[in-house]
Amino acid sequence: MKKGNIYEGIVEEIQFPNKGIVTYTEDGDTNRITVKGTLPGQKIEYRLTKKRKGKCEGRLMNVITASELEDRNPPCMHFGMCGGCTYQSMGYENQLKLKSELVKKLLDSVCSDYEYEGIIGSPQEFGYRNKMEFSFGDEYMNGPLALGMHKKDSFYDIVTTSECLIVNEDYNKVLCTVLDFFKENGTKYFHKMRHQGYLRHLLVRRAVTTGEMTVNIVTSTQDDMNLAPLTDRLLKLELNGKIAGITHIYNDSAADAVKCDRMEILYGQDFLYEEILGLKFKVSTFSFFQTNSLGAEKLYEKAREYIGDVENKTVFDLYSGTGTIAQVLAPVADKVVGVEIVEEAVEAARENAALNNLDNCRFIAGDVLKVIDEIEEKPDLIVLDPPRDGINPKALKKIIDFGVPRMVYVSCKPTSLVRDLAVLQEAGYRVLKACAVDMFPQTTGIETVCLLSKLNVKHHIEGN
């Protein structure tokens, strides 16, 4: 095999999240090539982009023959160009089957003698997202202004996703209104390499239960544009929901991320209210909140089932975010202590606990690694819901040293989960049950919930 050449092959397996494995044999020498964005059973054409001893990578050029899992025409007009969705050529049952198999394969690599409960599907296959970050740019170099998602495998080009299917149609109406306004005014987007221009992002949130929306226009400070006419247009839209607030966020950071140097409220407020499992949550512009509200109910119901009886018990909710899990448990627990490093999320958790009349929740701002040494209470059980990269090894050792009889681990990245499960099992814990929950239909994302029980063995962790 030669780098740069084009080859054909059958995708024999998929490794999470979307890494297809193709084998190529030449003169008795067999290579395994990783090709992203593929499905098992596809016959593909790929260009070899990397060849090193024991590691070959290719870039998908063309799908010659579809997979047996691809049982429908992609319903979204943007699919294929837009980098947001991966699985739309598969019906939802096949999506669930593939995701469940990927999770089980990873769990089986580190766990044995556990009960795998399969996968719980999202209540909504489409229109489920409650938050979208759209980018301004152009669809090709020096092309017309675009607003939407990045093109597949592109850092620069933007697809105007005016008919996106994974959001409520209200998002698409807002997107088109905002784009038309700036096109009419000849406004320039912020160029990521030159750091010149004005328009950066459009951040939209919409609560599923209340229908409240917040619209946030993110720009640099390189222009001084009157956005009152745009605000008037947005407020006149006929929507399924209702706009609760419109803001102008100023961001002069070099990074291509939604950040806030300063915020100006153009209309209403910078937050909305959402409801999950009978609890009310105030969600501000930059609050972390599960992006699938109805799916989150399924996730938290499963976590609550695994946690079991918490009457007269103290629960630690580590990496607690805005405290959703803590507040789901609080009505039936003696005390819940949440720890979260993002201060804004902690403030939101405290405010939401007060909103729900929960006085047995305490939320602490800080790094789990440092904070758990300072907490006076000792946990009877622990809930873990870390960010994508999993738990800091030093923090994991401290968590293990509490010696609680039961833990529930909620993970949004199964590869990080299995790394941490290996450590937990070496330290005397056993995985009893696990379940996947699909919060992100049409995409490769997946959540996993695991129940761990402490074995009656002496344990010790080597290392830091």
User: In the chain, what is the straight-line distance between the N-terminal and C-terminal CA atoms, in Å?
Assistant: 43
The residue annotated as part of the active site, out of 82, 412, 435, 450, is 412
CA distances from 458 to 114, 259, 406 (A): 21, 47, 16
Compute the distance between CA of residue 420 and CA of residue 401 in angstroms, rounded to an integer: 15
Compute the distance between CA of residue 134 and CA of residue 175 in angstroms, rounded to an integer: 8
Q: Which two tokens stand for residue 358?
A: 């929960």
Q: Which two tokens stand for residue 389?
A: 């990269």
DSSP assignment of 139-193, as one string? SSTT--EEEEEEBTT-SS-EE--TT-SSS-HHHHHHHHHHHHHHHHTTPPB-BTT
Q: How many helices (H) and strands (E) does the chain have?
A: 9, 23
Find the helix or strand (DSSP H, E) in which 119 lies: strand 115-120
Compute the distance between CA of residue 139 and CA of residue 431 in angstroms, rounded to an integer: 48
Our answer to whether residue 82 is catalytic in this structure is no
Residue 121 gets which letter from DSSP?
A: P
Compute the distance between CA of residue 81 and CA of residue 375 in angstroms, rounded to an integer: 50
Residues annotated as catalytic are 412
